[in-house]
Amino acid sequence: MMRAVVVTPLLLLFLFLPFPCPALTPEEEPPPDPHLNDPKPTTIVVRVVAHGSMVLGREVGGARITVTDIATHEVLATGIQQGEAGDQNLIMRTPHLMEEPLYSARPAAAFTATLELRRPTAVEIAAEGPLAYPASARRASKTVLLIPGEDLTNDGIVLHLNGYLVQIEHPKPGEALIAKDDVKLRASIRTLSGAPVRPHGDWDSRKIRIYGEVLVGDRIVERLQMFYAGEGGNFEAPFFVPGSKEVPDGLTLRVVAADLSTGNSGVGTAKYSVLSERLKSSSRQ
């Protein structure tokens, strides 16, 4: 038997009265980072390398590095790359993958700078060297986007300089030559990192065109095929000094080294006065 439920006015009032419910609070948000807009220290390593060769180290005076903000033209860092030329066996003879360190696996010259960056910054990184040989100095640059707090280390940012160091060793630049004398031209040829060029070496002279020129004014009067002299990086060729009347203002010797396959080339020049051949004969008496 079902029982009837008596609904009184008091019960109705109780059912429809609003009752307070606990509020649903959202998850508490973390406070904002007070250092969010602070500059972030960002370290970069720059290496300047002779194209197809080693790092420009202290032997050749290193290289000057300049880091410039492209938007503001502000110089952010500048300095000299210092250190050793690197491990020749590792750099020149050991196969390696793209992501494997080549110059930083062993001690090698580098320039390191720590920049305080607030925002992603596009910079131009420029290098000039070798500083010990200003006549043969080259320049290269690269544009890089730096991210605050993201370091570029290990091999770092690598810039390549194309060229050769070509120096006339004999006759000594500036000394007087005797007219109608037989003279041996000798020049040393090295990579921009200071490594000597020689046959069958890591920098094979057989692949490089090496020649000398005798100039009177701007006119080439003789071209000389130069040959390896059996010493580190030295090449020689004999030449005949013109008569003193043919070269009243002296002559110029020029040595050229060019490797079209790598784009490396270099030139060395020296000027000489020419004395009368009569001085030579009188000195023999």
pLDDT digit string, tens, across residues 37-92: 889 999 999 999 999 999 999 999 999 999 999 999 999 999 999 999 998 998 99
Among 140, 163, 162, CA closest to 46: 140
Higher-confidence residue of 52 and 10: namely: 52
pLDDT band of residue 33 (cuts 50, 70, 90) is confident
Strand pairing report for 152-161 and 138-146? unpaired
Give the chain's domains with CATH numbers: 40-161 (2.60.40), 164-284 (2.60.40.10)
- Spatial neighbors of 185 by CB under 8 A, at least 6 apart, are 168, 170, 171, 212, 224, 226, 236, 237, 238, 239, 253, 255
pLDDT higher than 80, residue 136: yes
Q: Is-contact 85 93, C-beta < 8 A?
A: no
Among 164, 211, 166, 215, CA closest to 187: 166
Instruction: Tell me the percentage of the chain whose pLDDT exceeds 70.
Output: 87
Q: What predicted TM-score, i.e. pTM, was given to this entire model?
A: 0.82
Rounded to 10 degrees, the C-alpha dihedral 125/128/131/133 comes to 160
Among 51, 29, 45, CA closest to 79: 45
The predicted-structure confidence for 210-247, as pLDDT tens digits, reads as follows: 999 999 999 999 999 999 998 789 999 999 999 988 99
pLDDT higher than 90, residue 19: no
pLDDT higher than 60, residue 25: no
Report phi then psi at 255, rounded to 5: -120, 130
pLDDT of residue 201: 93
pLDDT band of residue 16 (cuts 50, 70, 90) is low
H-type alpha helices, the chain: 9-16, 88, 277-284
Distance CA 275, CA 251 (A): 11
Higher-confidence residue of 181 and 19: namely: 181
Mean pLDDT of 16-33: 62
pLDDT band of residue 35 (cuts 50, 70, 90) is confident
User: Strand (E) positions, the chain?
Assistant: 40-50, 63-69, 75-81, 111-117, 121-129, 138-146, 152-161, 164-170, 177-178, 182-191, 209-216, 219-225, 227-228, 234-240, 251-259, 264-272, 274-275
CA atoms within 13 A on the CB side of 167: 19
Residue 195: C-alpha distances to residues 54, 63, 86, 266 (Å): 8, 16, 11, 14
The predicted-structure confidence for 255-277, as pLDDT tens digits, reads as follows: 999 999 999 999 999 999 999 87
CA atoms within 13 A on the CB side of 27: 2
Q: Is-contact 164 192, C-beta < 8 A?
A: yes
Residue 143, amino acid? T
CA atoms within 13 A on the CB side of 105: 11
